[in-house]
């Protein structure tokens, strides 16, 4: 009877220890998978990271002097997000402001400062473009890519300034030319877009 009781206890222990528990590696794998589903980490990236300023002073052969100052707007940016391996990468592309000052033979004829809102008006970027329009979302997502004096043709009575806006992380760009004539009026011509 003693042996039967010992056999019975061994069988009970064997059945209770094999209750379908997971191995340690299975439990760890499931725990990691569950953590990845619920936890996300956020990384903020700013481009440019710090304040950036650039000034150009151009004296042209036709008597015009053009000063252009561009500087990063530290309070305005365009946000792009990507999630990769439970990390949410938040990339903030800072908008740029720019100032244009034009003189003709020492006399100030044009001076204006532009931020994102004012540039949208100047270039005709609106929020009501349809999704297949080449300027769709330029009002929200495009940032200043470059601005430069176009001194190639050097017309006698005007200054040409090329301005390019682009949507980051895409190949969408728009190139505009600003014409400032010798009486200080400004006109804009859209040149190309991708």
**CATH number for the domain including 152?**
2.40.128.510
Q: Which domain holds residue 45?
A: 38-193
The answer to whether residue 28 is domain-embedded is no
Q: State residue 20's pLDDT score.
A: 61
The residues, ordered by sequence, that sit 6+ positions from 89 with a Cβ below 8 Å of its Cβ are 43, 45, 81, 82, 83
Q: State residue 66's pLDDT score.
A: 95
Query: Mean per-residue pLDDT for 72-83?
Result: 93
Residues of the chain with pLDDT > 90, as a percent, come to 53
Q: State residue 21's pLDDT score.
A: 65
Enter the pTM of the model.
0.77
Rounded CA-CA distance 27/29 in Å is 6
Q: What's the structural domain count of the chain? A: 1
Element (H, E) at 160: strand 158-166
The answer to whether residue 135 is domain-embedded is yes
The answer to whether residue 101 is domain-embedded is yes
Rounded CA-CA distance 77/165 in Å is 14
95-118: pLDDT as tens digits: 999 999 999 988 999 999 999 999
The answer to whether residue 145 is domain-embedded is yes
The answer to whether residue 12 is domain-embedded is no
**Using only C-alpha atoms, what is the Rg of the chain?**
32
The answer to whether residue 8 is domain-embedded is no
The answer to whether residue 4 is domain-embedded is no
Query: Average pLDDT over the chain, rounded to whole?
Result: 87
The answer to whether residue 185 is domain-embedded is yes
């Amino acid at each position: 009877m003693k042996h039967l009781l010992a056999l019975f206890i061994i069988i009970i222990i064997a059945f209770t220890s094999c209750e379908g528990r997971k191995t340690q590696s299975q439990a760890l794998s499931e725990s990691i998978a569950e953590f990845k589903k619920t936890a996300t980490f956020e990384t903020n990236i700013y481009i440019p990271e710090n304040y950036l300023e650039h000034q150009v002073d151009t004296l042209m052969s036709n008597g015009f002097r053009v000063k252009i100052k561009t500087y990063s707007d530290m309070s305005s940016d365009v946000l792009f997000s990507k999630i990769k391996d439970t990390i949410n990468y938040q990339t903030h592309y800072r908008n740029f402001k720019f100032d244009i000052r034009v003189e003709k033979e020492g006399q100030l004829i044009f001076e204006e400062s532009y931020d994102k809102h004012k540039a949208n008006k100047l270039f005709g970027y609106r929020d009501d473009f349809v999704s297949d329009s080449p300027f769709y979302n330029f009002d929200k997502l495009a940032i200043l890519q470059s601005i430069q004096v176009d001194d190639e043709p050097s017309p006698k009575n005007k200054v040409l300034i090329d301005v390019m806006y682009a949507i980051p992380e895409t190949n969408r760009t728009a190139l505009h030319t600003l014409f400032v004539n010798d009486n200080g009026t400004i006109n804009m011509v859209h040149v190309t877009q991708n």
